[in-house]
């Protein structure tokens, strides 16, 4: 079975933090065997015009070549992938491509043109029915999360992690696991909480994925203050490192954190979150039993779902 993956979400030298979750999925599917994957990734500078040019590039590059499945990540990449004529088309939508007015209009056209739309969570499928069509009524919609790399994301010695990052070994640190410039991640909430807790707020931005575990393990706790998430890998990444995590009740967080002592999944309320953080900030090395839950969302397990979707699409031919 031959599969072409088309994506604008993939780490590059210029932007090493761009889509590591897509890279993890591609590598995990390859490791499973059963599919011969070819990757076409690109890093557009911004705007719609680069995607038009990329569609022309795809049409030239793959003219006459046949694939069983063409799998695109992100709605605009899905539009580009339609230039590859031979193969069943699958597009995974990651969140904002279904919500933002400029991209949602294109996503709706892509949904109509492809063989199978997918989202990274069931909640995203439910909340974007107007764009996707109602699953099971208007058409099938797959749920294909990317998962986390459990080999990379693991518990590390906290003092060593702080040393490598140049942090105070005895400091009180909260990790905001996102780019502060992204408004939906609500850095303002995280900053307010850190000030209320007398803690130092750290974050990573355009950080190579290999260094992200250092930031997670260096923190007393990870705080995910987002107002929306398509899936939201950050709580799972914290769980994989056995680091306490507090998250708003969006994306995968309610399922991921349910019943795990030392975590909180709730709407953002500064005083409630500060109270939940108090024991973690008072401890020299706060840890939780989170890794068993994270293992349920490992990239290999999620890749098995993707490979099954490929096989079903190929068989439909």
Q: What is the pLDDT of residues 148-191, one digit of tens each?
A: 999 999 999 999 999 999 999 999 999 999 999 999 999 999 99
Cα 216 from Cα 103, distance rounded (Å): 32
Q: What is the CATH number of the domain that holds 275?
A: 3.40.50.2000
Instruction: Look at the chain and report how many structural domains it folds into.
Output: 2
Q: What is the pLDDT of residues 72-92, one digit of tens each?
A: 999 999 999 999 999 999 999
Asked whether residue 152 is assigned to any structural domain, the reply reads no
Q: What is the pLDDT of residues 239-279, one digit of tens each?
A: 999 999 999 999 999 999 999 999 999 999 999 999 999 99
Asked whether residue 45 is assigned to any structural domain, the reply reads yes
Instruction: Note whether 135 and 185 are same-domain residues.
Output: no
Give Cβ neighbours of residue 219 (< 8 Å, ≥ 6 apart): 173, 174, 175, 202, 243
Confidence of residue 13 (pLDDT cuts 50, 70, 90): confident
Instruction: Note whether 245 and 179 are same-domain residues.
Output: yes
- pLDDT number for residue 135: 53
E strand spans, the chain = 2-7, 36-41, 69-73, 88-93, 116-119, 142-143, 173-176, 200-203, 221-224, 245-247, 264-265
Cα 316 from Cα 189, distance rounded (Å): 48
Enter the pTM of the model: 0.91
């Amino acid at each position: 079975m031959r599969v072409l993956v088309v994506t604008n979400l993939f780490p590059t030298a210029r932007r090493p933090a761009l889509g590591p979750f897509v890279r993890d999925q591609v590598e995990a599917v390859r490791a499973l065997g059963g599919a011969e994957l070819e990757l076409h990734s690109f890093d557009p500078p911004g705007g719609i015009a680069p995607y038009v040019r990329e569609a022309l590039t795809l049409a030239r590059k793959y003219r006459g070549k046949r694939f069983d499945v063409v799998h695109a990540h992100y709605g605009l990449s899905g539009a580009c992938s339609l230039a590859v004529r031979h193969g069943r088309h699958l597009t995974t939508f990651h969140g904002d491509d279904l919500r933002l007015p400029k991209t949602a209009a294109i996503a709706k056209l892509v949904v109509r043109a492809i063989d199978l739309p997918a989202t990274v969570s069931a909640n995203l499928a439910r909340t974007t029915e107007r764009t996707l069509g109602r699953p099971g009524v208007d058409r099938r919609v797959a749920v294909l999360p990317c998962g986390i790399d459990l080999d990379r994301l693991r518990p590390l010695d906290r003092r060593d992690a702080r040393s490598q990052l140049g942090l105070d070994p005895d400091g009180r640190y909260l990790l905001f696991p996102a780019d502060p410039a992204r408004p939906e991640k609500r850095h303002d909430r995280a900053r307010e909480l850190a000030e209320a807790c007398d803690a130092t707020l750290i974050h990573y931005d355009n950080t190579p994925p290999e260094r992200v575990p250092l930031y997670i393990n260096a923190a007393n706790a990870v705080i995910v203050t987002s107002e929306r998430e398509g899936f939201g890998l950050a709580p799972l990444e914290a769980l994989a490192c056995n680091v306490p995590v507090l998250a708003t009740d969006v994306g995968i967080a309610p399922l991921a954190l349910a019943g795990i002592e030392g975590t909180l999944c709730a709407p953002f309320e500064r005083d409630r979150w500060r109270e939940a953080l108090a024991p973690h900030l008072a401890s020299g090395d706060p840890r939780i039993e989170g890794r068993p839950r994270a293992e349920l969302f490992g990239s290999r397990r999620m890749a098995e779902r993707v490979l099954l979707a490929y096989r079903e699409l190929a068989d439909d031919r």
